[in-house]
Each structure stands twice: as structure tokens, then as C-alpha cells.
Amino acid sequence: MLLERLGIAFECADPQVDETARPAEARAITAARLAQAKARAVSAKYPDALIIGSDQVASCGGARLDKPGNHENAVRQLTAMSGKTVRFDTAVALLDSSSGKLDTTVVACDVTFRQLNARQIERYLRLEKPYDCAGSAKVEGLGITLIERIETEDPTSLIGLPLIALTELLAQAGAPVLG
């Protein structure tokens, strides 16, 4: 959806990368490492292409918020995030598979959540089912109703692919979006 906004031709590929964080690894470092790993993982299939990898890591009060995977974990996450500011670090990596050149940018996004009660959390989760999203909230959907404020230099970073940063990386690689 986000890449379509840029009007460029692309193919999607599943990189099959283990997204496990390393012990004591900083959030931004995890996001960058995984974005790079995802780009590299599909490079053999696309030997003469610009390959985009992206990853996002969320945290609240220093605790990492992974993809919840199920309803109970999502309830715990949203309850813990209620009334608090959550940091989303989103990395985008651009790999030129023909030269091996790899550039990566990490964009921070601070999201302040509204005070949420149990009924609101349950209703949101039953309607949206965001069990595959870091932090259990899809801002591009009904999750926007959970949020009080968003602070970032690139609003698309919260959705999972910072387009401002990506267009800069593409231009540096000689493939500007607008030609």
C-alpha cells in the first residue's frame, strides 16, 4: 500500500527472516539489523535490483513490545501503553544487489496513547485484530482512535515504511521517484 503511493514498479518477496531480538540489543539497532537482513535474504532472487527491507521495533518504558501474536498478549500491551508514550523505531534498508551497496535509515516515532479502559481495548481488538503488529495498534485503521499524539519526522514510519527516508535512499542510489 505504501509503495503504491510512490508510483514505482515493485515486487513483494517474503524474506523468511528470524525477527528475534538479541540480548541487550538497542531497539534502533534491532530494527536496522532486521531491515538489512530482510533485504539481503531476497537478494539472490533479484540479482540486479534495488531491494527494500523494513522493520519496526516498539517499546514502552524501556520494555520491548513485540508482535503480540494473540488476544491476551495484545490486551496486556494496550493496557500497559494506556496513557503512555511509546517509541516506534522503524528502519528502512536499500540494497543494490548488483553492487552490494547497502544503506539504512532508522526513523523514530513517539506515539502518546489515550487513557484506555478495558472495554475500549476489548472492542478495538475484536474489531481490528492487530496481533501481527508491534505494539498491538494499527494506526492506518481503527488504531488511530487509541492515539492522542504522534511525533515524528516521517508519518509513514508508524505504518512500517518511512517513505520520506526511502525516497532519499532511492535518490542517493540514482533512482529518484520523480525522475
Identify the weakest region by mean pLDDT among 62-66, 89-93, 105-109: 62-66
Is residue 20 domain-resident? yes
pLDDT tens digits for range 57-79: 999 998 999 889 999 999 999 99
Alpha-carbon distances, residue 20 vs 13, 17, 23, 104, 144 (angstroms): 20, 9, 9, 19, 27
Is residue 137 domain-resident? yes
Q: What's the average model confidence in pLDDT over 22-49?
A: 95
Domain that holds residue 49: 2-172
Is residue 93 domain-resident? yes
Catalytic positions: 55
Residue 179 CA to residue 176 CA, distance in Å, equals: 5
Predicted TM-score (pTM) of this structure? 0.92
**Residue 134 above 90 pLDDT?**
no
pLDDT tens digits for range 41-57: 999 999 999 999 999 99
Q: What proportion of the chain, given as a percentage, has pLDDT over 90?
A: 92
Is residue 178 domain-resident? no
Is residue 128 domain-resident? yes
Nine cell digits for residue 8: 514505482
Alpha-carbon distances, residue 149 vs 112, 139, 143 (angstroms): 5, 11, 12
Average pLDDT over all residues of the chain: 95
Is residue 177 domain-resident? no
**Residue 21 above 90 pLDDT?**
no
**How many domains does one find in the chain?**
1
The CATH number linked to 94 is: 3.90.950.10
Is residue 89 domain-resident? yes
Confidence of residue 110 (pLDDT cuts 50, 70, 90): very high
Is residue 159 domain-resident? yes
- pLDDT of res. 62: 87
- pLDDT of res. 77: 96
Nine cell digits for residue 66: 513485540
Residue 99 CA to residue 152 CA, distance in Å, equals: 32
Confidence of residue 179 (pLDDT cuts 50, 70, 90): confident
- pLDDT of res. 107: 98
Residue 60 one-letter amino acid: C
